[in-house]
Amino acid sequence: MKVTLYRGTLGHPIVFPESIIITPDNIDSIDFNKVIYCEHSPKGAMGNEGGILLYVLQNEDKLATYETNIDLDKQSYEAVVNKIDQNIHLFIGLYGGMGNYVYVNKDAPFEIDNKYNCLWYHSKNTKLRINCSVTGVFNSVIIEMSNKMTKESAGKSKK
């Protein structure tokens, strides 16, 4: 089953690729080393039904999105939560507000774009757009990211 959602890539026409619904059949094919952005919303967070959104780097210049929610497939939802926990060392955790959690790959270069309310992942040849699930998550994430970047910059200047 696939769901059509908005995703875009800079330098190419805005496209609307389909998100891949996470199932027991494809969950093991998701390489968490290539997950660059992940949102986890437990049931009840910001009125959410409990959802997970993954942006996975397919090659240097292409992202795939995977999604599930607890009402669609509780088993897959819980399996992805476990995979996130097993691979937590790969990510920087950010609070997305109202019970939502965001994980960004530690090695992924991101740019915050307040004009378009998105993040840009800087790949080798282009920038790939990352859309948070809702505006409230984006607003919380950019505050967290800005604070962490400021702290890191301050730590480097003291050395």
Dihedral in degrees, nearest 10, Cα atoms 67, 72, 73, 74: 100
Measured between alpha carbons, how far apart are the two ends of the chain, in Å?
52
pTM as predicted = 0.79
Contact between 121 and 108 under an 8 Å Cβ cutoff? The reply is yes
Rg over CA atoms, the chain: 15
Q: Where are the alpha helices (DSSP H) in 20-108?
A: 74-86
Task: Give the least confident one: 13-22, 51-60, 69-78, 107-116.
Answer: 13-22
Residue 48: burial class (beta carbons within 10 Å; 0-12, 13-18, 19+):
buried
Instruction: Give pLDDT tens digits for 22-58.
Output: 888 999 999 999 999 998 888 766 556 678 889 999 8
Q: How many domains does the chain have?
A: 1
Residues of the domain holding 70: 2-158
